[in-house]
Amino acid sequence: MWNFFGDTCEKIRKIQEDMLETNGYHWEKYTVTTEDGYINTIYRIPYSHNIKTNNNERRPPVILSHGMTCCSAVFLNQCQLGYYLADQGYDVWLPNNRGTTFSRKHVILDPEKDKDKYWNFSWHEIGVYDIPAFVDLVIEKTSFQKVYYIGHSQGTTALAVFLSERPEYNDKIMLSCLMGSVISMDEGVKANVVTLLKYFMVPLIKLVDRHLFRIHVIPFSNTIRAMSPLLSWNSIGRYISMKSLYYMTGYENFEQATQLDLTKFCQTMPNTSSIGQLLHYMQNIQSKKFTKYDYGPEKNLEKYGSTEPPLYDLKKVTSPVALFYGKNDMFNNYKTDNLDKKLGNVVYTHVVEDDGFNHIDFLIAKDSVPLLYKHIVEIMKRYQES
């Protein structure tokens, strides 16, 4: 499915790099190899476009961690958070998780020839292997011993896995800012798409997977990207497209989407994610627990020593955490998810002052600066390493 357009990967790489250059920002690109052999790419904006040279000034490093079916471009396209933080004096790092456009290499495996092995991961492996590798690289390349972490959607899930499974890394995180968290798998997860996936898509995927052919990647990403110009060329097409987008992320908030260029937005997303990432979420939503991947009783016993997958110990997340909620986010409920009690060290909670603010608005809202970004920077300054 991913190779439906043969040069899609290279096009997306060029789109991101062209965006950075068009907007006048100096950028750098690095690769890092994880403990389990995945070779991932991370981009860097070391300073603002208002500064001609780096001047060796110390700028606190911040990692922006993208969600499922996204890549680093999501923070540079309609979101602009990457640019905003650079302009506020931060050294911005933009990682790309395994399997995305920018991170499709492995020391041994080929994502096309070795599909069964290469794509055999969920967001557990992203948290346990990808995020630590990115953090270590950023610390190595900067003069700071700690980094900021900002995650959206799956970026919040990965953070919870990362610091609960690798608790020694709490000492390397100044502050984590979690936008639209997907950690508490309770009744607060009420997205329409969850119902669609749970009762129709996931059973269909498992049926096809078992009897016809192996599904490795969440399908339809190229199809959606190809259709986006057709669905946004006039007001009716745009309305249908936005209704579909909101069906998956939260009830309509058209006012915040007035500046969204849907065709441009879809140039880099949906991006590729493994089918394991989707299935892991669905398992947790169905069980209403935040657990490791459920392989079934027999394999669970072999892997975990119990027939049920174990819970992640969120109390081990002891570095400071700031939570950012949308009142209309269908993937959590700020009133009931109790993350301030479940995580080990929540120091700040902010609910966006817009009744319609939903899961995708963290990436596309036209009023992001006053509603969200300025509050993120304010709390980051309180936890800045000298």
State how far the Cα of 379 lies from the Cα of 135, in Å rounded to an integer.
20
Question: Which residues have C-beta within 8 Å of that of residue 8, sequence separation ≥ 6?
Answer: 2, 101, 222, 225
**In what helix (H) or strand (E) does residue 123 lie, and over which residues does it extend?**
helix 123-125
Indicate which residue of 48, 65, 103, 153 is catalytic. Answer: 153
Tokens of 132: 């630590």
- Give the integer Cα–Cα distance in Å for 140 and 327: 38
SS3 state of residue 173: strand
Give CA–CA dist 355/346, Å, rounded.
23
How would you classify the pairing of strands 346-351 and 173-179? unpaired
- 305 burial (CB, 10 Å; 0-12 / 13-18 / 19+) is exposed
Catalytic one of 176, 359, 368, 375: 359
Assigned token pair, 42:
């991370």
* Coil vs helix vs strand at 126: helix
359 is catalytic: yes
Residue found by looking up tokens 């995927």 in the block:
205
Catalytic residues: 153, 359
